[in-house]
Structure 1
Amino acid sequence: MDTATVGKLKAFARGEATWAEVEGMTFEEAKAIAQVGCDLAGAGRYEEARILFEGLVEGNPRDSASRAALGTVYQKLGRLPEAVTEYSAALERDPANPVALVNRGELYLQQGNRQGFTDIANAVEADPDGQTSAGRRAKALVRAIALAAVEKMKEAPAQA
Structure 2
Amino acid sequence: MTTDPKAMAATEATKPLSGPEMLERAMQGFQAFEQGNYENARAIFQDLADRDQAEGYYRTALGAVALAVDDLDGALAHLDEALRLNPQDNAALVNRGEVHLRLGNILQGAKDFARAVELDPEDKDPLTARARVLAAAALQSAEEAQRDSGGGTEG
TM-score range, shorter chain: 0.7 to 0.9
For residue 130 of structure 2, what is the aligned residue in structure 1?
A: 137
For residues 5-47 of structure 1, the C-alpha deviation after alignment (integer angstroms, 9 at most, x for no partner) is xxxxxxxxxxxxxxxxx95423322122111111111111111
Any conservation in 1 of the 2:110–2:139 contact (CA below 8 Å)? no
Change (3 A) 1:129 1:32: farther
**Contiguous gaps of at least 5 residues in structure 1:** 1-21
Shift of 1:109: 2.0
For residue 99 of structure 1, what is the aligned residue in structure 2?
A: 91
Structure-2-length-normalised TM-score = 0.76
Total equivalences in the alignment: 140
Any conservation in 1 of the 2:101–2:138 contact (CA below 8 Å)? no
Task: Let me know the Cα RMSD of the aligned residues.
Answer: 2.7
For residues 99-138 of structure 1, the C-alpha deviation after alignment (integer angstroms, 9 at most, x for no partner) is 1111111111222222211111111122233333322211
Over the matched positions of the two proteins, sequence identity in percent amounts to 32
Structure-1-length-normalised TM-score = 0.74
For residues 46-101 of structure 1, the C-alpha deviation after alignment (integer angstroms, 9 at most, x for no partner) is 11111101111111121111110111001111211111000000000100101111
**Contiguous gaps of at least 5 residues in structure 2:** 1-13
Q: Pick the structure with greater CA Rg.
A: 1
Change (3 A) 1:140 1:82: same
Structure with more contact order per residue of length (Cα contacts < 8 Å, sep ≥ 6): 2
Change (3 A) 1:42 1:58: same
